[in-house]
Chains A and B, each alone.
Chain A
Amino acid sequence: MREVDRHSKIDRRNFLKTAAAVPPAAAVAATTGLSIDGAWADNAQTLNPDTMRTLAKVARDIYPHDHLADRYYIAAVTPWDAKAASDPKVKSLIEEGIALLDQVAHANYKLPYAAVAWEEQRVALLREIEQTDFFGKLRGDLIVSLYNNPDVWPKFGY
């Protein structure tokens, strides 16, 4: 559980100030000490909270940076809820994609994806669904939603 970003240059007193510059959902993610398995997902309007939590876990497994706090991955996947609200095809894509992933996890470990213990094991499960539209869209979106975040840039010296 990574609530505190050890490399964070953001002064805690300024949390709220910096969060104000960021869109609302991500602001919530930034201000509270957040972990992927936390209560943030209960704010979801359309998608299931467990789906949101699994999405965040998948995001970190696709692009793992140990020095990046969970909140950046949460910020990256939170917009899927709004997209699912406005487009039923997106809702199906995400729900069916996560369902398939959990199914594959159950088949191998009798656990949902998010409970599979080792990253290597979860990555192997992701490889099984790597050719799906769901994985492709999620991964492609993360290139922008995770990394095109001005709060993330200083973490990489940019």
Chain B
Amino acid sequence: MARFDLNDDGLVVIIGSGAGGGTLGNELAQKGIKVVILEAGGRHEIQDFVNDEWNSFVQLAWKDMRTTSGSWRVAHDFPNLPAWIVKSVGGSTVHWAGASLRFDDHEFKIKTVYGDIAGANLLDWPITLAEMEPWYAKAEFKMGTTRTNGIPGLPGNNNFKVMEAGARKLGYKEVHTGRMSINSQPRDGRGACQQIGFCFQGCKSGAKWSTLYTEIPKGEATGNLEVRPNSMAVRIEHNAAGKIDGVVYVDGNGKMQKQKARIVAMAGNSLESPRLLLNSQSANFPDGLANSSGQVGRNYMRHMTGSVYAVFDKPVHMYRGTTMAGIIMDEARHDPKRGFSGGYEMETLSLGLPFMVAFLNPGAWGRGFTTAIDGYPNMAGMWLVGEDLPQETNRVTLDPVAKDTNGMPVASVHYDDHANDIAMRNHAYQQGAAVYDSVGASRTFPTPPYPSTHNLGTNRMSEKSRDGVVNKFGQTHDVKNLFVSDGSQFTTSAACNPTLTIVALAIRQADYIGGAMQRGEI
């Protein structure tokens, strides 16, 4: 196993080991480039995962202090938990559901296609779908996405069967068990899905792709990748010339260390990455590192989300089998006749009883609530996930008062729905309920958005340096040897789940970084 010296200034240092950081780390290591990944969380392997919702949450989730504001309900119900993401080696690829969808063409250029929308800070990506296609193909092959590369779809479960029956009744056409990075048959040294049903708690069969047991061990096997868990980055530092020269972090013993670097890539997800840039302010960068545009932390997107659960007259046992067991894609199109721009996916979802009572209707109590919970064995459910619009005022800032255990200001997340998000959510609730009503639901529950599992946009890509933070390769406009490799690069959120795009961008970014290093540009 590689161990690199703190004073080795020839390294690429990556902050975060998830879809972006883990993939970038392996891709660079395969090219012979030496990499250190600093991961804030511990290293929990497959045998450590717990198939128990609350115990798993305690093990894997980011529970560091964060504050919130804005009109979103999460700020009221979960004021210190704006996001449900993973603090552990593998990042959020440990707990993700596996949905692996490509953006549509128009989703890379919503300013052009949607036009100007008041209150929204729309911008086109500096990349097109056509440019991304070869990288998407590489990502699907790497991750073993079903319905690509000859990999059969997963079989579905009761929850999917109910949704599918309703979907057909309503006339939906694009209905199937999803493009999932979960092995439907043994592949890449990992077994097939065992339908265990605890996808969100870490996949104990290894069938679901996660950097923890794919990219990271493959990278480590080259001898060029070192993963340091329990290493919380607190500042990125630069030399007098403004070139990044290392990352200050707190190690597993609570000691401050500085790892020198030739290149730094941030992949701490969309709350920590901008926070780190803002906390790295200096005389050269008074508004935060790489923030000449003022866009660091801004344009925070978390998708339009909501859920619909429905109770039927017979048991469904929706929790048995994969959590995201199928999808209706018809509403993902851009069709302003519906009263909003952009679209949404309808994906099956299940929560166990412990989480259902916490999230079905936070704060609710009494018989209205308990009779709903009594219907649990007969419940089916879906998650509605759609494109939310970037707004400058939706942003991650440094909390003026709250500090973490290292004395650093914590992230504060402000979010308000745009009118477009509200119109889309209402449409989605209506359609979701209609799916279930059409096949005999006795009650349907429109469930409010959970703490954000998709966090995007806070260091967005832009053509011009005044509009965003990074260029088309995730390289910051202001500092050549500083990159962003996580979902904070996203210029738009698109209707679909972000992980495939993050992985595709990371493979492409590795290619760019490797070439630029060879040419001596960085």
Contact = CB atoms under 8 A, between A and B. Distances in A.
A102 B235 CA distance: 54
A144 B57 CA distance: 13
Contacts of A139: 363, 365
Interface stretch (A46-54, A62-70, A90-98): A62-70
Given A148-B354, A158-B352, A63 B377 contact: no
Contacts of A62: 365-366
A157 B377 contact: yes
B374 interface: yes
B512 interface: no
Of B53, B319, B377, the most chain A CB neighbours within 10 A belong to B377
B483 interface: no
Contacts of A65: 370, 373-374
A111 interface: no
A152 B352 CA distance: 12
B366 A158 contact: no
A63 B317 contact: no
Given A63-B370, A64-B367, A65-B370, A158 B376 contact: yes
B319 A64 contact: no
A71 B433 CA distance: 36
A65 B370 CA distance: 6
Nearest to A152: B353
A8 to B, nearest CB: 16
Nearest to A147: B357
Contacts, number: 42
A143 interface: yes
B351 to A, nearest CB: 10
Given A63-B365, A64-B367, A148-B54, A156 B374 contact: yes
Interface in B188-229: none
A123 interface: yes
B515 interface: no
Nearest to B53: A148
A118 interface: no
A63 B369 contact: yes
B373 A156 contact: yes
Contact of B353 (A63, A64, A123, A158): A158
B353 A156 contact: yes
B158 to A, nearest CB: 12
Interface string B84-128: 000000000000000000000000000000000000000000000
A157 B376 contact: yes
A158 B353 CA distance: 7
Nearest to A136: B363
A144 B373 contact: no
B315 A157 contact: yes
A65 to B, nearest CB: 5
B370 A158 contact: no
B358 interface: yes
Contact of A64 (B357, B366, B376, B377): B366
Nearest to B315: A157
A21 to B, nearest CB: 14
Given A143-B358, A144-B54, A158-B376, A153 B353 contact: yes
Of B54, B317, B365, B376, the most chain A CB neighbours within 10 A belong to B365
A72 B204 CA distance: 31
A37 B363 CA distance: 27
Contact of A158 (B54, B365, B377): B377
Contacts of A123: 366
B377 A156 contact: yes
A65 B354 CA distance: 15
18 contacts: A63-B365, A63-B369, A63-B370, A65-B370, A67-B374, A123-B366, A139-B363, A143-B358, A144-B358, A148-B54, A148-B354, A156-B353, A156-B376, A156-B377, A157-B315, A158-B319, A158-B352, A158-B376
Given A65-B374, A157-B377, 6 more contacts: A62-B366, A64-B370, A143-B358, A147-B353, A148-B354, A156-B374
